Amino acid sequence: MPSFNQSIFHPAVFFLTGIPGFETYHAWLSIPFCCLYAIAISGNGMILFVILTESTLHEPMYYFLSMLSFTDLGLCLSTLVTMLCIFWFNAREISFDACIGQMFFIRGFTFMESSVLLAMAFDCFIAICNPLRYATILTNSRIIKVGFAIVIRGTTALVPLLLLLKRLSFCRSHVLHHSYCFHPDVMKLSCTDTKINSAFGLAIVISTAGIDSVLILLSYVLIIHSVLSIASPEERKKAFGTCVSHISAVAIFYIPMISLSLVHRFGKHAPPLVHTLIANVYLLIPPVMNPVIYSVKTKQIRKAMLKIFSLKLI
């Protein structure tokens, strides 16, 4: 175990944290984490495979779902190595450049997932409010353009943010409070002025996840208004049923993200364990739960999965 004395630190090295207070049980704690990673990777991988191989699922809704699974896979793989190395080998050291790279992928996939959820909200809105024009609005070429726009939007804004981070000096303890590099966590360790970094980071969050959440909320206001105008209770139930999976995905993505932001901003005196648990929930729960939600709630996905499993058994 290295001594965390400020004087011995190389300026380009950080030390990650496992579960504070439970260091002696890391080997046992790795079991549930491994299970969560296995569920997330296999579940999202299965959804991607099913959508790509089943011609009946080559529709806008499922294309967007495949984008969601892709971003969830990216989030899992961005932290898999560092977290398991901490639990299994107590390998806590990470170079500054590797930390920057991990932050890029975590933030990038987070912003991409927010954009995908907005695109899925738009898909629900068109399907319910303007079903006759659905096929003409959401063509394959437009969906491809949306996919490229999501990737570009999720990554380009991060380059100046991380370049601003490179200019900071670190003269305090280099121990991070999470099992991965999180931008606000790294900034707290700097001994130089971080006002520009904080302002720019906040601006990016507002212009991506902030705007996305407002537009998603607006789309559901319009959807509810349209559904309530439907005379038949059966049709109302069917219309709301098409949105249940997406509403669940939005909730499990935004609630942990907002909770983590609030804890970092206002929970300075909260125990380190609280920070760590919320950070792990924020990164692992959406990738784990999204495949479960869409497998259970979406009949076509469930049928396609059962079909593949039955063929394998035969």
DSSP H stretches of helix in 5-25: none
Contacts of 161 (CB under 8 A, 6+ apart): 107, 183, 197, 200, 201, 204
Mean pLDDT is lowest, of 63-72, 109-118, 134-143, 151-160, for 151-160
Mean pLDDT of 32-48: 94
Strand partners for 240: none
Q: Is the pLDDT of residue 180 over 50?
A: yes
Q: Is the pLDDT of residue 186 over 60?
A: yes
Q: Is the pLDDT of residue 6 over 70?
A: no
Per-residue pLDDT tens over the stretch 243-294: 888 999 999 999 999 988 888 777 777 788 888 888 888 889 999 999 999 9
Contacts of 99 (CB under 8 A, 6+ apart): 14, 181, 186
In this structure, are residues 161 and 200 in contact, taking their beta carbons and an 8 Å threshold? Answer: yes
- Model confidence at 313, in pLDDT bands (50, 70, 90)? low
- How far apart, in whole angstroms, are the C-alpha atoms of residue 215 and residue 226? 16
- How far apart, in whole angstroms, are the C-alpha atoms of residue 186 and residue 3? 19
DSSP secondary-structure letter at 8? G
Domain boundaries, the chain: 14-312
In this structure, are residues 94 and 82 in contact, taking their beta carbons and an 8 Å threshold? Answer: yes
Block residue for tokens 């990650």 = 16
- How far apart, in whole angstroms, are the C-alpha atoms of residue 264 and residue 128? 39
Q: Is the pLDDT of residue 156 over 70?
A: yes
CATH of domain 14-312: 1.20.1070.10
Distance of CA 232 to the CA centre of its chain: 37
Structure tokens, 6: 């400020």
| pLDDT score for 314 | 54
In this structure, are residues 17 and 277 in contact, taking their beta carbons and an 8 Å threshold? Answer: no
DSSP 50-102: HHHH-GGG-SHHHHHHHHHHHHHHHHHHHHHHHHHHHHHH---EEEHHHHHHH
Per-residue pLDDT tens over the stretch 45-86: 999 999 998 888 999 999 999 999 999 999 999 999 999 999
| pLDDT score for 5 | 43
| pLDDT score for 151 | 93
- How far apart, in whole angstroms, are the C-alpha atoms of residue 235 and residue 37? 38
Instruction: Give SS3 for 147.
Output: helix
Structure tokens, 183: 């931008």
| pLDDT score for 311 | 64
Query: Torsions phi, psi of 181, nearest 5?
Result: -85, 115
- Using CA of residue 222, residue 223, residue 228, residue 231, what is the dihedral sign? positive
